[in-house]
Amino acid sequence: MKWHPDKNPNNKKDAESKFKQISEAYDVLSDPQKRAVYDQYGEEGLKGNVPPPNAAGGASFFSSGDGPSPFRFNPRNADDLFDEIFGFSNPFGGGGGGAGASGGQRFSSRMFGDDMYGSFGEGGGGGSMHHHHHGAARKVAPIENKLPCSLEDLYKGTTKKMKISREIVDVSGKVIQTEEILTIGVKPGWKKGTKITFPEKDNEHPGVIPADLVFIIDEKPHPVFTREGNDLIVTHKVSLADALTGYTVNLTTLDGWMLTIPVTNVIHPE
């Protein structure tokens, strides 16, 4: 609560402005419909420049005027916002929007250590109560990459190792470059389109939840077989003489076995 008006008595105007911005951000995060509009259209969508999506799917909400109805942010009392986030009344006193000193619970700073604000990660004494809030942090859309696999890979199963390079935030808050090996165990029978997800393995940046990294199985063409579901199809050219008199097909399977298939019936063209 760095920008709580009661903590900034000498700069109350700026603190109230900042606190209003925090209140609006929290309003968006706590409302699934507003958050969906912000994720898709940004701040302009909340102002009404694009129609917000209906949570039930289909129609959009419009005002009776000429354009789409923007979302409204209700100004919040600082004490009310503190109570909604942390689950108890503001222990700092009765400022922030003229709430006064009456009503609500009051807590001694000794409950939180020598420094009330230190217990919330602002530095200071050894308080035991810690709250970590991401503020306006939102998760980036998944990043998808194709993972080419041969028909043999999908028949027998295999292990793929993917080397990725990404940015992470170290303990000091600095963004650094790092490399990592991701191991993917391809299971026998997997098909084209199968997805393997590594949660939050994209670049890390302050205020943003990293995107999931998704690999999608892509089946390479095979020189002999074509896959249809769990079946393998082989196309074999036959001469007219063989079609009439019969012949033998020799075929090597995906696991290396040699099959001998006698064809004794007359083959008719389709």
Which residues on adjacent β-strands are paired with residue 215?
Answer: 145, 196
Chain center to CA of 231: 35
Kindly tell me if the per-residue pLDDT of 185 is higher than 90.
yes
Q: Let me know if domain 139-219 sits in CATH 2.60.260.20.
A: yes
H helices of the chain, where? 12-29, 32-41, 43-46, 78-86, 151-156, 240-245
Which range has the top average pLDDT, 116-120, 194-198, 258-262? Answer: 194-198
pLDDT at 3: 53
Q: What is the pLDDT of residues 174-183, one digit of tens each?
A: 888 999 999 9
CA end-to-end distance (rounded Å), the chain:
77
- Tokens standing for 38? 């912000």
Q: How far is CA 213 from CA 49, 124, 143, 187, in A?
A: 32, 38, 5, 19
Kindly tell me if the per-residue pLDDT of 24 is higher than 80.
no
Phi then psi for residue 31, to 5 deg, are: -115, 110
pLDDT at 245: 85
- Provide the residue ranges of all domains of the chain, joining segments of one domain with +: 5-120, 139-219, 236-263
Kindly tell me if the per-residue pLDDT of 246 is higher than 80.
yes
Mean pLDDT value of segment 236-242: 83
pLDDT at 123: 42
Task: Indicate the length of the chain as a whole number.
Answer: 270
206 CB neighbour count, 10 Å cutoff:
8
Residues 230 and 151: beta-carbon distance below 8 Å: no
Tell me how far apart the alpha carbons of residues 135 and 147 are, in angstroms, rounded to a whole number: 35
Mean pLDDT value of segment 204-224: 91
